[in-house]
Structure 1
Amino acid sequence: MKRVRLTITLRKDLVDSLDRHADGVNIRNRSHAIEALLSDTLSRKVNKAVILAADQGITFRPFTYEMPKAMLPVKGRPLLEHIIARLRKYDIRDISISVGYLKEKIESYFGNGSKFGVHIDYVAQEKKNVGTGGALKQFQLRLIKDEPFFLIYADVLTDINYTDFARFSSEHKSDIGALALTTTATPELWGVVKLQGDKIIEFVEKPAQNSARSHLISAGIFLFTPRIFSYIPKNKKVSLEKDVLPDLVKKHSLPGYVLQNQWYDISTPAVYEKVLKEWK
């Protein structure tokens, strides 16, 4: 993105605050700190998140005979609570959760969200296995027409910076949204993404082994505008990764935000065991 050189004079205490804000990783220096703070102030804030938490977690049986996958404990708290706490940290407090299997376990634990510092409402999946797109489609009438929102899969655990992701999406001005990406040594297990600069030019869900053209994959976190709903058919099973995103990236400019953070897709007991050891 094109930048313009400026010369400004600031109070020393503000400069000291900028220096403390620059961590050398997410914020590189004073100029970057000023840019980030201005962007946060001037960019449209994202206050809404949708979490898909209806997965039965069949691979986690017998544990998931008693609880939905999203309630698996991690460091003394359910997986879903870690996701909600992360959202609250970035002041994203309006949360809708898609529930299905053993939904009463989630609803009774979190209630309306007030004891977690957020507001939570629920949408129950009446049919099994409607796909990620089908689950998202159920929220169409609950979202404000032009309000952007985060979409998060409830089996993804990461220390993502949601403010930085929202800033990235705002800078790229996509009318559909942006995808969070991460890297892996086994990309064929996920939706593989090919980038050109920051633009996603190809999305292939679970390609044949050794045929993946990139080690970048979808991280299971998205920032969408409600325009995404016009690409999801009604009343049928729809996978975002198989049925929507591959064509969408060909027709529209969708940017890819590459995570520099911890990231786990808790899809198997082996990954869950790794999370229990490594998550901080």
Structure 2
Amino acid sequence: MKQRITITLEEEIINAVDRKIDGRKIKNRSHAIELFLSRALGENYPKKAVFLLGGKGTRLRPITYELPKALLPVQGKTVPEHLFDLFKKYNIRNFIFSVGYKSKKIEDYFGDGSKFGVNISYVEEKTRLGSAGALKLASPSLNEPFIVTNGDELKEIDLEDMYYFHKENDALITVALTTVDNPSSYGVARLQGNKILEFVEKPDKDKAPSKLIHAGLSIWQPEALKFIPKGFSMFEKNVFPKVAEEEKLFGYNFSGQWYDTGTPERYERALKEWKGIKKD
């Protein structure tokens, strides 16, 4: 909940603040001051991210008979390593890897994360649990806002702006949305303003409610974990509809790079076109 305060500042400081206002990322003087204070206090981003790495990668066989998707290289680095670059840009370095298929190979490669300048702990699916069920395994360690990301997509998102959007809307879950020409292979968002009403799974192209799809990254409040049922469950089918009923599910539309590597064709495109994470 926001509170109104009155502060007195030197004119040169106010002028410096005003020069940062661009009407887009920094909308006004109040927003600017709040953003700068959040950065100074380290409250401008979640502190932890969960990587979902348990999938078998069946569409990438025969490659994934030998290697889990998390170890497939893109321009000399695995997809999780590219995601490290994104998160480290916002000083997010604490990760939980939810693993399953060929988990030992993943743990042997990434270890505790120290060689990558991050901290990694692990939870493991003994049986297939789905995206939401895999996240639920990590719930004992999630007591403040956190990020959930798929481990097989390359993405470039302004996480600071997304987190501000998440807080401004008092969301339980904010889903990153990206635009694709043909959404028929994905979960497609139906929105009312910024609120997500539902995800329509793999609609016909001419019947899709939008061209905005779940980009495989979301910000969660820990309270949202209560919506995950026991056993096998998926975000779009079992969790997001419940949060949408509470009018607490929001979509953050971003225009940065996004590449899915889940099929041979998409993997090849990522190899050719991914430009890496831009440094400020």
Following the alignment from structure 2 to structure 1, what is the Cα–Cα distance between the partners of residues 108 and 12? Answer: 51
- CA deviation profile, 1:150-199 (whole Å, cap 9, x unmatched): 0000012111121111111111112x221111111122221111222222
**Counterpart in 2 of 1:189?**
185
Question: Which residue pairs with 2:278 in the alignment?
Answer: none
Contact 2:183 2:212 in 1 (8 A): yes
Paired residue for 1:170? 167
- Whole-angstrom CA distance in 1 between matches of 2:75 and 2:15: 38
Instruction: Tell me whether 249-258 or 261-270 shows the greater mean CA deviation.
Output: 249-258
Q: How does 1:16-55 map to 2 (within 5 A)?
A: 19=19, 26=25, 34=33, 36-41=35-40, 43=43, 45-55=45-55
| Aligned twin of 2:107 | 107
Contact 2:59–2:264, Cα closer than 8 Å, also in 1: yes
- Provide the C-alpha distance between the structure 2 equivalents of 1:171 and 1:68, rounded to a whole number of angstroms: 38
Are 1:241 and 2:242 matched, yes or no? no
Question: In structure 1, what residue type is equivalent to 2:145?
Answer: P
Equivalent position of 2:175 in the other structure: 179
For the 8 Å contact 2:35–2:44, the answer to whether it is kept is no
Q: 2 CA distance for matches of 1:84 and 1:263?
A: 15
Return the offset for 1:18. 7.5
Which of 267, 270, 277 aligns to 2:262? It is: 267
* 1:160 corresponding residue in structure 2: 157
C-alpha RMSD of matched pairs (Å): 2.8
Give 1:54 deviation, angstroms: 1.1
Match of residue 211 from structure 1: 207
Does 1:131 pair with 2:130?
yes
Aligned 1:3-152 pairs, distance under 5 A:
9-11=10-12, 15=16, 19=19, 26=25, 34=33, 36-41=35-40, 43=43, 45-127=45-127, 129-144=128-143, 147-152=144-149
Which residue identity lines up with residue 264 of structure 1 in the other structure?
A: Y
Tell me the percent identity: 44
SS in 1 for 2:262: coil
- The answer for the alignment partner of 1:198 in structure 2 is 194
Deviation at 1:25? Answer: 6.7
Amino acid at match of 1:124: E
Please say if residues 40 and 163 of structure 1, whose CA atoms lie closer than 8 Å, have aligned partners that are also in contact.
no
Contact kept? 1:18, 1:34, Cα under 8 Å: no
Closer/same/farther in 2, CA of residues 32 and 228 from structure 1, 3 Å limit: closer
- SS of equivalent residue, structure 2 residue 83: helix
One-letter amino acid of the counterpart of residue 136, structure 2: K
Deviation by residue 1:177-226 (Cα, 9 ceiling, x = unmatched): 21111111122221111222222223222234422111111111110112
Whichever residue aligns with residue 66 of structure 1, its letter is: E
1:228-274 deviation digits (Å, cap 9, x = unpaired): 2211111x211111222134212232221111200112221111111
Change (3 A) 1:96 1:14: farther
- What secondary structure does 2:106 align onto? helix
For residues 22 and 77 of structure 1, do their structure 2 counterparts lie closer, same or farther at Cα, with a shift above 3 Å needed? Answer: farther
Residue pair 2:224, 2:243 contacting (<8 A) in 1 also: no
Distance 1:153 1:8, change over 3 A: same
Aligned length: 271
Q: CA deviation at 1:38?
A: 3.8
C-alpha distance in 1, partners of 2:26/2:257?
18
Distance 2:208 2:222 in 1: 30
85-94 or 208-217: bigger deviation: 208-217
Q: Residues 24 and 44 from structure 1, CA distance in 2 versus in 1: closer, same or farther, beyond 3 angstroms?
A: closer
Q: Tell me, in whole angstroms, the C-alpha distance in 2 between the residues paired with 1:14 and 1:81.
A: 40
The answer as to whether partners of 1:134 and 1:239 remain within 8 angstroms in 2 is yes
Q: CA–CA distance in 1 between the matches of 2:18 and 2:88?
A: 24
Q: SS of the counterpart of 1:204?
A: strand
Whether the aligned pair in 2 keeps the contact of 1:40 and 1:167 (CA below 8 Å) is no
More divergent stretch after superposition (42-51 vs 63-72): 42-51
Q: Distance in 2 between matches of 1:80 and 1:166?
A: 21
